[in-house]
Amino acid sequence: MVTISVCVGSACHLKGSYKVINSLQKLISQYKLEASVELKGAFCLGHCTEGVSVKIDEEEKIYSVNEKNVEQFFDEEVTRRTKQ
């Protein structure tokens, strides 16, 4: 199970975290990964200046995601983890 945590703190909220969440929900459904990917909200991930902060599993890396790159993020970072 891959867990995607999307920051919904004040700064990320203003940068479109709910649009990113909606896009991720659609992609999870489109790729039929409901049983393999868990999507959840998180509070501040400590990268407030970089865009909507997203974390995968318990990795230390924080991704900066927005409406324009969410599909690329999903294709490059999430789908490869579900194929393991």
Copy the structure tokens of residue 76: 């490059």
> What range does the domain containing 63 cover?
2-82
pLDDT top residue among 73 and 80? 73
Give pLDDT, residue 50. 82
Give CA–CA dist 36/15, Å, rounded: 27
Give pLDDT, residue 49. 85
Q: In what order do the strands lie in the sheet with 52-56?
A: 37-42, 2-7, 52-56, 62-65
Grade residue 84 by pLDDT with cuts at 50, 70 and 90: low
Number of H helices, E strands in the chain: 4, 4
What total number of domains does the chain contain?
Answer: 1
User: Per-residue pLDDT tens for 23-71?
Assistant: 999 999 999 999 999 999 999 998 888 889 999 999 999 999 999 999 9
Look up the CATH number of the domain holding residue 35. 3.40.30.10
pLDDT top residue among 5 and 47? 5
